[in-house]
Amino acid sequence: MVSQTHAPRKPEIPSASELKKRHAAQAAIVHVKDHMTVGLGTGTTSAFFISLLASHAREKGLTLRCVATSDASAYLARASGLTVVNFEDVKSIDLAVDGADQVDGRKNLIKGYGGALAREKVVEYAARKFVVIADDSKLCAHLDKPVPVEFIPFAKAAVQNSLSALGAKSVRLRLGSDSEPYRTDNGLWIFDADFGKITGPAKLEGLLGAIPGVLACGLFSQNVHSVIIGTQKGAKEI
């Protein structure tokens, strides 16, 4: 019988984007202390943080409780060995760590491309410290990406008209892979509203949040403690 040998499997080399996200996520670990309640964000960068957090907790013997901002993040956290509890079961959030789809130099954010903007806003605005992690492609001088707006389907026409009245150049209903309206974990729909260059993020956030039928918008202008930007060589804080 002729024995067959197989070449050793080569380790997967992370892409440049993955490396930057990992650097940002790793830099955020220093904010984690024993016995903290940690808010977990949603998205690819947050997934790196969740995995690193689980490894860090095991290595250091930390006791942590985690509040997830989406079903996907809760599943990943539990699968990684972290303890996940409901938001209603905690008195406070010590630290929240999450990614962003766009960040300006004044720590204003656009979030929600992963569909979890409402729960992210609830958890991250309640946190004592909110740390944002993002790769350097997300950093810009001014926010100008479309803003996600989560709303109840019943109010679709009224919300769309209100967004246009506030200056949205286009308002697109987000669709899922089945070409049906994308449904959030809350069972609601999302408009992506393009306002072009946003010169007053805080003001626009307030106006969008006041529209009847809107649960939350993806503009985050409050409570950001620090922003960690991942680069090829490491991470920097702004």
Q: Is 155 helix (H, G, I), strand (E, B) or coil?
A: helix
Alpha helix segments (H runs only) across 100-154: 117-126
Better pLDDT: 161 or 1: 161
Instruction: Check if the beta carbon of residue 62 is closer than 8 Å to that of residue 80.
Output: no
Per-residue pLDDT tens over the stretch 217-232: 999 999 999 999 999 9
* Confidence at residue 3, expressed as pLDDT on a 0 to 100 scale: 45
Per-residue pLDDT tens over the stretch 14-58: 789 999 999 999 999 999 999 999 999 999 999 999 999 999 999
- At residue 1, does pLDDT exceed 50? no
Active-site hit among 18, 120, 150, 237: 120
Instruction: Check if the beta carbon of residue 171 is closer than 8 Å to that of residue 212.
Output: no
- At residue 11, does pLDDT exceed 60? no
SS3 content of the chain, % helix, strand, coil (to 5): 35, 25, 40
64-70-20 Cα angle (round to 5): 75
Host H or E run for residue 202: helix 201-209
Per-residue pLDDT tens over the stretch 98-144: 999 999 999 999 999 999 999 999 999 999 999 999 999 999 999 99
What's this model's pTM, rounded to 2 decimal places?
A: 0.92
Q: What is the CATH number of domain 147-217?
A: 3.30.70.260
Which positions ≥6 away from 233 have C-beta within 8 Å? 23
Q: Give domain limits for the chain.
A: 16-140+221-237, 147-217
d(CA 68, CA 190): 20
Select the CATH number that applies to the domain covering 16-140+221-237 from these four: 3.30.70.3000, 1.10.1530.10, 3.40.50.1360, 3.40.50.300: 3.40.50.1360
Is 120 marked active-site? Answer: yes
